[in-house]
A and B are shown apart, each in its own frame.
Chain A
Amino acid sequence: MRTTILLIVLSAAVALAQAPKAGVRSEIRVFKVQPPPPPQPEPGDSVELNAVTGDIVATSHGLAIRLPRRDTDIAPSLAVSYAESAGKLNYFYTLENQRGAKRAISGLSLAVPNAAAATATVPSGWFSIKGEHSLGVPSILFANKNKDADLYAHLTSGKSVSFSLTSTDVPGLVRAIISPLEEPSKPGELTDGEFFDSASEWVRQRLLQMDTRDRRELYTYSIGPKQARAQDGVAAIQSELRAASGLPEFREIGQPLLQASSLATLPAIRSALAGMGAATPLQRDFVAAMNWRIATLSK
């Protein structure tokens, strides 16, 4: 107790002696804030894209990994047809993973503007979900729900599967995303996640920049329920033609499509489409869909 009192008295005396002098003022000011510096490569870091195979090969902290392109491992063919029945359109899709594909297909997503009003039908072992797809627009997902171990049940090389959609909307060009099957890692195998965790910050950022979504999924187009029938007309068809004319998938007929989009009447557009010489199945399907709409509007 005596020691405590002595300590307090002594400390108070020292404190008074150290107390600020009159007129002296001190304060801490903040001058500038610098964000964290960008990461720098560490010795042994490397992230390279193989121009021939499209694989990304990365090394960091003594580990190495090869990240293959998934979208070129599958060989999909997506066929579509449609027929009108009782005021509605039934769209039939056949998705085939052609022979020679190195990887199975696990799902197909169609960006259908009015997905909520469409009815999807799937075969056994598949399911459909309405919602947004990875591009953030309404879509319908068709996916396989077989177990990981039942790889044979997925859409492997040479197999095909059929779905259907029923909608009141008339056909147009819609985005299609086809997902390769992500096979489970083998025991003891270094996974992409384990490599990413162990890599330097610089390698992590490079991988995020380079291992883009379009390497992991196949982005293409198909024909699907696109346009509300009540709003269809010359302007809607002109808009479709203009949008398609700038896509790589329509490179061969891009210029004629653009010219056709400026024509003011349905017969003029139909004439232009007739002489277009569509080269690919998608181009032919698109021209056929536009002709179907023109014919329907002309009735």
Chain B
Amino acid sequence: MALNLARRRAWPQQRSRRYPCDRKRWARMLARFANESLLSSKARTLKFVVSLALLTMPALAINDPYVAPSAAVQIAACITYNGQPVGGEQVYYTTYVTAGSGYHDHNAGRPPGSFNTPSGQTSITVVTSSDGCAYVYWYAPQAAGSHDIVGIPAIGAPAYLSFIVWAFTDRAPFVEMPSGSDYSLTGQTGDHLSNHWGTGNANARLQTIFSQFRAQTGAIGQINDQSLGWGGTFDLGPAYASASCPSYASQYWTNTCNHGEHRYGRNADIPFAGLGGQGPAFLDIATRNDGAGGGPILDEGNHYHLRFGS
């Protein structure tokens, strides 16, 4: 698992924004097609054939791969014959998500993105227009991750496109909160092994807050969930349902309940248990250090929810 984590952390930084054809990536695609167990036998056969065809002539789109969670992207597979557009041809689109990507260590029910509506189909057939292009909207899910879209035309080679869905399209990536002597990092679960990512400002402020708090009170506080490494939905799932957040609302892969704001790297949960009963002093120190810069500090019943301004 440690190796897996390290690979996930390194990958987005290593990938160039405009990347060339990647043979290893194609191999991963083939392996995924082969491992699809929920598909019908007809679909499996089609995908096996497609896999072989991909080896012969992959047509890789070169694009800016970064999109924000819940963003919509209009794409089109365009077919030409001797340079002329081919209209009236069917293109079969399918969208996938890479398991384990986006710092989600759980995969059951994971939405791979959808076509034409935010909760639409994950596969769709579209006919090319007179310009030879089959237009479709791809909707990124709320959760961050690595996504592939395959377009299989009735003639010509299948084409594929990759998107990385992450929260900081126009900003610096989040930074992992380092361990420190003035606080302890808590809250890691099997669903999210790494849960302390934040903006540079949020992390620096947290360190100052806990340093000052310890100096004044002697207490070593705790930092529970911040954000996931690529931002986006930080889902807790139905196990964390409560009276105000019933299980139907506290579902995986949504922002509807619990941690709805932990998407931007600007929030941190601070358990009461680590504050030595000195909540007011902590609030005064946190407020003076931008902890309420993004909205009032919230009382969550057993922890404070800090909101940094950037």
Inter-chain contact A197/B244, CB cutoff 8 Å = yes
In the complex, whether B116 has a CB less than 8 A from a CB of chain A is: no
Smallest beta-carbon distance A207→chain B, Å: 8
For the A-B complex with A28-B159, A34-B72 known, give 9 more contacts whose Cβ atoms are closer than 8 Å.
A11-B49, A29-B76, A31-B75, A139-B288, A141-B285, A146-B278, A185-B299, A194-B245, A201-B260
- Chain A contacts with B in 171-210, Cβ cutoff 8 A: 179, 181-182, 184-185, 190-198, 201, 204, 207-208
Rounded to whole angstroms, the CA-CA distance of A107 and B276 in the bound complex is 19
Inter-chain contact B245/A27, CB cutoff 8 Å = no
In the complex, whether A256 has a CB less than 8 A from a CB of chain B is: no
* Stretch with Cβ within 8 A of B (4 or more), from A78-86, A130-138, A244-252, A291-299: A130-138
In the complex, whether A2 has a CB less than 8 A from a CB of chain B is: no
| B249 / chain A contacts, CB cutoff of 8 Å | 61, 198
Q: Mark B45-79, 1 if CB is under 8 A from A, else 0.
A: 00011001100110111011001111111111111
- Chain A contacts with B in 151-181, Cβ cutoff 8 A: 154, 179, 181
In the complex, whether A1 has a CB less than 8 A from a CB of chain B is: no
| A48 / chain B contacts, CB cutoff of 8 Å | none
Inter-chain contact A134/B293, CB cutoff 8 Å = yes
| A24 / chain B contacts, CB cutoff of 8 Å | 79-81, 86, 155-157
| B69 / chain A contacts, CB cutoff of 8 Å | 36
Inter-chain contact B61/A106, CB cutoff 8 Å = no
Smallest beta-carbon distance A286→chain B, Å: 25
- Using a CB–CB cutoff of 8 Å, the interface residues on chain B facing chain A are 48-49, 52-53, 56-57, 59-61, 63-64, 67-82, 86, 133, 135, 149, 151, 153, 155-161, 208, 212, 216-217, 242, 244-245, 249, 255, 257-261, 272, 276-281, 283-285, 287-290, 292-301, 304-305
| B157 / chain A contacts, CB cutoff of 8 Å | 20, 24, 26
Rounded to whole angstroms, the CA-CA distance of A146 and B299 in the bound complex is 19
Inter-chain contact A192/B288, CB cutoff 8 Å = no
A29: contacting residue among B70, B78, B153, CB under 8 A: B78
Inter-chain contact A127/B216, CB cutoff 8 Å = yes
Smallest beta-carbon distance A135→chain B, Å: 10
Inter-chain contact B61/A198, CB cutoff 8 Å = no
Rounded to whole angstroms, the CA-CA distance of A187 and B260 in the bound complex is 23
Can you identify 22 A-B contacts, CB atoms within 8 angstroms? A24-B155, A26-B77, A26-B79, A28-B160, A30-B75, A31-B74, A33-B72, A36-B72, A129-B212, A133-B288, A134-B288, A139-B288, A143-B280, A144-B284, A145-B281, A148-B278, A182-B297, A184-B272, A194-B242, A198-B245, A204-B261, A211-B295
Rounded to whole angstroms, the CA-CA distance of A20 and B86 in the bound complex is 14
B298: contacting residue among A20, A107, A192, A213, CB under 8 A: A192
